[in-house]
Amino acid sequence: MPALVAFIFFRKSWQKAFIIMMLTMVIDIDHLLATPIYDPMRCSMGFHPLHTWPFVCIYSALLLWPKTRIIGAGLIIHMVLDSIDCKINLGVWMM
What is the DSSP annotation of 3-26?
HHHHHHHSGGGHHHHHHHHHHGGG
Residue 56 lies in a domain: yes
Residues 6+ apart with CB under 8 A from 33: 48, 49
Rounded to two decimals, the pTM is 0.90
- In which domain, by residue range, is 35 found? 2-90
Residue 71 lies in a domain: yes
Give tens-digit pLDDT for 12-67.
999 999 999 999 999 999 999 999 988 888 888 989 999 999 999 999 999 999 99
CB 77 within 8 A of CB 18: no
Residue 51 lies in a domain: yes
Does the pLDDT value for residue 80 go beyond 90?
yes
Split into its structural domains, the chain has a count of 1
Residue 16 lies in a domain: yes
Residue 95 lies in a domain: no
